[in-house]
Structure 1
Amino acid sequence: MTLDPEDSKIITLARAARARNGSVEGAAVRDETGRTYSATNVALSSLTLSAVQVAVATAISSGAQSLEAVALVTAGDGPSAADEAAAAELGVKALLVAGPDGTLRG
């Protein structure tokens, strides 16, 4: 599968965020103006958020009205139902999911 260069970019950003923080998940989103936001999962005793949830929240709190794409990099199973719902609510039809090496999963 050949990816659009902009989709490859958000996978790279998600991989970098995950590696930088040594996190289980990394995610990146692209909003309707082309701005990108990356994040990792948060796992505190008082707060647990997926990387997708953090990236989406960052985009929305920065003024994004919709998202063009969402990428998740994980060694785990993939996006949760909550991740998919957040992406869908903002106009994304499918999340891009890749392994830690950046290989896109079907």
Structure 2
Amino acid sequence: MTDSTVLEPEDRKIVTLARAARARNGVPEGAAVRDDNGRTYVAGTVALPSLRLSALRTAVAMAVASGATSLEAAAVVVGEGESPSLADDDLAAVRDLGGAATPVFVAGPDGTVRTVATAG
């Protein structure tokens, strides 16, 4: 586990936004991404009968739809007891927009960062 207070302020911000999206929407995951201009995009899990997207893929899609061309960082907040690992599709979406070195912070519902992955 990583003390989230040691994160850079902008990284801590996206963890906080992801946590808020999860709690506010009552979804399994919340995610936030930051583009190269400092704009953030926040999303929760999409679970419709005809469309299923993780929170992270939804946030990346929102960034792309808003004109983002690059990502600096991403954060995902998962539920208590949920695995801190990310699906390959989630990392691929981040890699497609941000590159292989883009950090992805995975935190628990209390905001404590459990792991930091890279999209590569």
The residue that corresponds to 1:99 in the other structure is: 108
Which 5+ residue runs of structure 1 have no aligned equivalent?
none
Superposition RMSD on alpha carbons, in Å? 1.1
The one-letter code matched in structure 1 to 2:18 is A
Q: Secondary structure at the match of 1:73?
A: strand
The one-letter code matched in structure 2 to 1:96 is F
How far apart, CA to CA, are the structure 2 residues paired with 1:24 and 1:100?
Answer: 10
Q: Output one character per residue of 1:53-86: Cα deviation in whole Å (capped at 9) or x when no partner.
A: 1000000000000000000000222321101111
Q: How many residues align?
A: 106
How far apart, CA to CA, are the structure 1 residues paired with 2:20 and 2:97?
Answer: 24
The residue that corresponds to 1:5 in the other structure is: 9
Name the one with the larger strand percent. Answer: 2
Which 5+ residue runs of structure 2 have no aligned equivalent?
116-120
Stretches of 4+ aligned residues off by more than 6 angstroms: none
The residue that corresponds to 1:61 in the other structure is: 65
1:46 and 2:46 aligned = no
